[in-house]
Structure 1
Amino acid sequence: MKFQSVLLSAVALAAAAGAQAAPAKVADGKVLKAVTESDLQQLVLAEGHTVDELHPFEAPSVRGKTADGLYFLLIGTACDIGKVKGCQGAMMQVRYDDDESVTLEGVNKANMEEAAIGTWWDKEDKTVGFTRYVVMDDGVTWLNLRQNLRVLLDVQASTLKYVFPESEKK
């Protein structure tokens, strides 16, 4: 059940190594109507995690890593639309490789029991994911964005027992 990884290039590793202190701090009360890749990077750092990779996807994105070794993704969505610069949405995800214990019933149970995040299973790609999506159309505070990441990381941990009933992760 290892994190579904995206191949790292030598350039990405070098960028991630120097990326730990790059963005300026954001005040908790600041209202954001859009985020940039730099904001996503700062979000990872503001929560005490490390940046493992910058720009792992075509969209503005960051792969973070908790002190416990859990990888997670922050992906900007609805980017540079109309007159709005930046991304008006932020998808936060944790992904795992599936195993033989994953069932549709378990994924459905996870969705019913833990509505704060969406749980999904891509059988073809052999990936199980947990997602929290934040829409910033009329603005969210920086602290609210931070709290959304906390919710994803906390709730996915308690949801593993439904998706991976035979795993040591639960």
Structure 2
Amino acid sequence: MKTKYTALLTLVLLFLSVLVKGQESGSTSSGNEKRAQNIFVELGGQGLLFTANYDSRFSNRRDGFGGRAGIGYLSIEGDNATTVPLSLNYLLGKGRHFFEMGLGATLLATGGNDDSFLFDENNSNIIGTMSFSYRLQPVDRGFSFRAGLSPVFNKDFFIPYYAGLSLGYSF
């Protein structure tokens, strides 16, 4: 379990260092384009359950490399699950329409007891995630939408047709 948390911490630090480096290199841009940023809620997808997320490009562009981080929590009759999705992604497209490809990891921490419906013990796991999605992202600011496939995997399973849907705001 300690190894899982060390791996998650390493992934978080790597994500933050890439984000800071991207912001530093993006500050020398001509200023004609603005870095795309999004806040959104997601059902399914790389967050696995229901999550609140932040997504940003690493340079002053609407497309290209970026990353996301989020958090989710669900509690039902003594069972609970917390998810923390982190991923890197790449957007292809122009204007408002993009294709998103991403790769990441999600920490899934579950809790329950012997009387629980879903989980009979406290457990944590890191789930690998991918993203192949359509993204509607306004040119300036406004409503954003994503829908697509988010295959999930770890050493014990692979689910290729796991889907996700998100609604949010781009600025």
Q: Do both proteins adopt the same fold according to a TM-score greater than 0.5, normalized to the shorter chain?
A: no
TM-score (norm 2): 0.34
The structure carrying a bigger helix percent of its residues is 1
Question: Greater CA radius of gyration, 1 or 2?
Answer: 2
Q: Which has the higher contact order (CA 8 A, sep 6+)?
A: 1
Give the TM-score normalised by the residue count of structure 1: 0.35
